[in-house]
Structure 1
Amino acid sequence: MTLARRCLLLALLGTALPALAAPLSEADLRAQAERFVAQQYAAPGSRVEVKSEALDPRLHVADCAVPLAASLPGGLRMTPRLSVVMRCPVADGWTLRVPVTLKVWRQVLVANRPLIRGDGIVATDVHAEERDVTRLPYGYVASLDQVAERSLSRPVASGNVLTPGALGGRQTVRAGDHVQLLAELDGIAVRAEGVALGSGDSGARLRVRNGSSGRVVDAIVRGPGVVVALP
C-alpha cells in the first residue's frame, strides 16, 4: 500500500495520522554523532573536542520516524579517530558509520627535569599541564596521589608525560628515614647509622648524612633501610 492510500484510509477511519519525521540531512546526522561522542567522554576537568568528517556524497539517508541510536563499536577507548555507528532502530532500518576526530584535554603530570630509574617523585619534580590524552597511548598520571611513595622503574625525560608504566613499586627508602650506611672496600664492610636525604627504590642513587660525622655522601639503595656508600 502506498503512503498516499494509507493516509487516505486512516483519514476515512478517523484515526490520527502518525507524525512524519523531517528529512534527515547530513548536517543533522553529523551533529547527532558529535553530541553523542562528546557526552561519552565528558568528565570534570576535561575539555572535549569532536569533529565529524564529511560523508560520501553519493549516500542518501532515508528519514527515520524515531530517534536515532548511536554507539561506539570499540567501546570508550580514547583514540584520535573514531567511527560512530548511527542506526535507525526500526524494522528494516538503516545503519551507517560517521567518522569523527576526537580530542580530550586533561591535566597530566609532566617531568620538570630528567628523572632517573629508582627516583621517588616529589612535587618539585613535576608540574600539571593540559594535554590531549587521546594521543597518550601509554596512559598518564593525573595527580601526585597516584605516585605517593612510588619510585620510577624507568627514566623519564624532561618535558615528558609521566605514565603508569614508568612507576615501580613502593620506595624502599624515603627521605628522612634512618638507614644503615655501608662502606665497602677490598672486601671489608664498615657500617654506620645515617639519615636518607632522598627517596628511592633498590638501585636508586641518593644522598645520605652520616649520623656520626655529619658528612653527606652519595649512596646506592641496596634494600629496605640499607644503602651502600659510593667511592
Structure 2
Amino acid sequence: MEEYLQRSNIQGRSEIQVSRLDPRLRLAQCDKELTANLESPAQPLGRVTVRIRCDGSAPWTVYVPAHVRLYRDVVVVTRPLRRGVPVQPADVTVAERDVGTLNQGFLTATEQVLGQKTTRALVADQVLAPLHLQQAEVVSKGDHVVISAASTSINVRMPGEALANGAPGEQIRVRNLSSGRVIRARVTAPGQVQVEM
C-alpha cells in the first residue's frame, strides 16, 4: 500500500484488515524467508488476496484475503442542491472518505467545482463526482457577443448575437450583426466567441 501511494503520489490514510486463516490449516515451519505477492490488480483497494509462499525444504502456498481501505480528503456537498444550479463556496467542503467505495469517481479540491453547474439533484454530505458537474454557460441565447477571427496575419472583431447558450469550449450558432449571416463559433469567455479561420 505504501508503494502504491508513493508511486501514485497520493496523500491518504490506509486501513488494512487481514481475514483470519482457517484454524485447521497445518503448515510446516518454513526454513526460508516467506515471500508475499499481491494477487490483485495494481490498485490495491477493496478486497485483495495476498499469496504467501514458502520455498523451503517443505514448500507450501497459502492465499490470505484482506480488505484495504484508503481514506482521502474529497469534496462533499454541505447542503441539498437542485439540478442545474452553479456551485458556490458555501455549497461544498472537504471530508475524509474511503475512496475504494467511490465507483463514480471523486474530486479532491473545492476549486475544481466552483462555478460549475450540477447535472442532478444532490443531497447533503454526498461525495461530488465529476459526472455530477458540467461547465456553466457564460453565454446565453440572445446575448450580444464579440465575434473574433484571427490568423497569423489578420485579426477581425465584429458584433454578434448568440443563438444558443454556451459554456467555454462549446460551439454555438451566432448571428453576425454586420452581415446577418449565421455562423458557428466557439465560446471562449463571457461575451466572447471565436471563429476558426
TM-score range, shorter chain: 0.5 to 0.7
Residues 24-74 of structure 1, C-alpha deviations (whole Å, 9 max, x = no match): xxxxxxxxxxxxx45435665311111212101122334152451311323
**Equivalences for 1:2-151 in 2 at 5 Å?**
37=1, 39-41=3-5, 44-62=10-28, 63=30, 65-76=32-43, 78-79=45-46, 81-88=47-54, 93-147=59-113, 150-151=116-117
Higher percent of residues as strand: 2
Distance 1:140 1:92 in 2: 47
Query: Post-superposition shift, 1:86?
Result: 2.3
Corresponding residue of 1:159: 125
| Residues 71, 86 of structure 1: 8 Å contact kept | no
| Residues 48, 103 of structure 1: 8 Å contact kept | yes
- Cα distance 1:156–1:147, how it changes in 2: closer, same or farther (>3 A)? same
Identity %: 29
Distance 1:147 1:52 in 2: 37
Query: Post-superposition shift, 1:96?
Result: 2.0
Distance 1:38 1:54 in 2: 22
- Cα distance 1:164–1:61, how it changes in 2: closer, same or farther (>3 A)? farther
| Residues 93, 110 of structure 2: 8 Å contact kept | no
Distance 1:69 1:93 in 2: 14
| Residues 83, 99 of structure 1: 8 Å contact kept | yes
Higher percent of residues as helix: 1
For the pair shown, the structure with the greater C-alpha radius of gyration is 1
Corresponding residue of 2:143: 180
Scaled by the length of structure 2, the TM-score of the pair is 0.59
- Cα distance 1:60–1:144, how it changes in 2: closer, same or farther (>3 A)? same
Q: Secondary structure at the match of 1:162?
A: coil
Distance 1:86 1:141 in 2: 36
| Residues 34, 53 of structure 2: 8 Å contact kept | no
Unaligned regions of 5+ residues in structure 2, if any? 145-165, 168-186, 192-197
Distance 1:91 1:124 in 2: 65
| Residues 38, 50 of structure 1: 8 Å contact kept | no
Unaligned regions of 5+ residues in structure 1, if any? 1-36, 182-199, 202-223, 227-231
- Structure 2 residue identity aligned to 1:40: Y
Corresponding residue of 1:229: none
| Residues 36, 50 of structure 2: 8 Å contact kept | no
- Structure 2 residue identity aligned to 1:113: R
Distance 1:46 1:84 in 2: 22
Scaled by the length of structure 1, the TM-score of the pair is 0.51
